[in-house]
Amino acid sequence: MSEFQNIGLIGRTESDSAVLSLKRLMAFLEREGYSVVLEKNTANDVTNHKARVSSKDKLGELCDLVIVVGGDGSLLAAARALAKFSVPLLGINRGRLGFLTDITPDEIEQKVGEVLSGKYMAESRFLLDMSVTRDGKPIGKGSSLNDVVIHPGEFIRMIEFDLFIDGQFVYTLRSDGLIISTPTGSTAYALSGGGPIMHPKLDAIVVVPLNPHTLSSRPIVVEGSSEFKVVISEHNVANPYVTCDGHDQVVTQPGDVVRIHKKPHRLTLIHPIDHNFYETCRSKLGWVG
């Protein structure tokens, strides 16, 4: 018997192709005798089904495995919601890049079947927690699997802030922003900003300045246990935004303090048995080989 009996499904329902893949996956799972639980927003677009329906939070309590049908953004959202429940995630790619959702639609039955029979790889990924305080009082928070980004928001203006790591002053930076990224996020926005690719198994965080005013400002890789404090400068004209994976947006004011650290709950990401990080990089990033 499979260790996974109750299977939660989350889909990118604005995509017709994702809905088709969801229906195909549901038919396969029900045919094989698994109990299927649909996330409630997903269920609205999957007609004529007999599956149980649940909120995203409840999926973490009800299910042994959650399968996400969509792009990396869909899996990021599921990770933020479900990491605290320790339920593993598996991704079927119906997006564009597919760094995290690595099963293609035409191999659903084969690859999902292999995973359910115990032939899979499990990776532990950490997330980041972010909070913003103003005059010592909390005004916003969020979590991310990829990155926390401080940026100018609505206006294209250089912003200024002070960065501290583990209580030690690093620098005062004037730039278009700052990316603080996990290894998972190192192949996303941080890579576009000139940061290094980090292997997912690394316990490290990369700090990537966005278009810094000084050419000597370069990405820094630090321990995964590091605590970050960013103080928004009093000299800013714009009010910098803080976003987590492009969501959970907080608008700051001069003097606000942004704190970022590793989340206590980790995510278990399931891959097919033949998953290879370097092969993913070759195919997704166009490496020659």
Output the DSSP codes for 10-56.
Answer: EE-TT-HHHHHHHHHHHHHHHHTT-EEEEEHHHHTTS-S---EEE-H
Which of 254, 226, 252 has its CA nearest to residue 151? 252
- Which residues make Cβ contacts (< 8 Å) with residue 101, sequence separation at least 6? 68, 70, 71, 72, 74, 75, 91, 92, 93, 94, 95
240 neighbors 150 (Cβ within 8 angstroms): yes
Q: Is 146 assigned a ligand-binding role in the annotation? A: yes
Q: Is 243 assigned a ligand-binding role in the annotation? A: no
Would you call 72 a catalytic residue per the annotation? yes
Q: Is 147 assigned a ligand-binding role in the annotation? A: yes
Distance CA 156, CA 159 (A): 9
Phi, psi torsion values for 46, nearest 5 degrees: -110, 100
Q: Is 176 assigned a ligand-binding role in the annotation? A: yes
Q: Is 191 assigned a ligand-binding role in the annotation? A: yes
Q: Is 94 assigned a ligand-binding role in the annotation? A: no
Q: Is 174 assigned a ligand-binding role in the annotation? A: yes
In the numeric block, which tokens belong to residue 77?
Answer: 């959202």
| Per annotation, catalytic residue among 16, 64, 72, 106 | 72
In the numeric block, which tokens belong to residue 101?
Answer: 């959702």
Q: Is 157 assigned a ligand-binding role in the annotation? A: yes
- Taking CA atoms, 192 is separated from 43, 96, 206, 239, 273, in Å, by 35, 16, 13, 23, 29
Q: Is 13 assigned a ligand-binding role in the annotation? A: no
Q: Is 187 assigned a ligand-binding role in the annotation? A: yes
- Exposure b/e, 10-30, CB count within 10 A at least 16 = b: bbbbebeebbebbbbbbebbe
Q: Is 189 assigned a ligand-binding role in the annotation? A: yes
User: What residues are labeled active site?
Assistant: 72
Could you list the residues known to form a binding site for NAD(+), using ranges.
72-73, 146-147, 157, 174, 176, 187-192
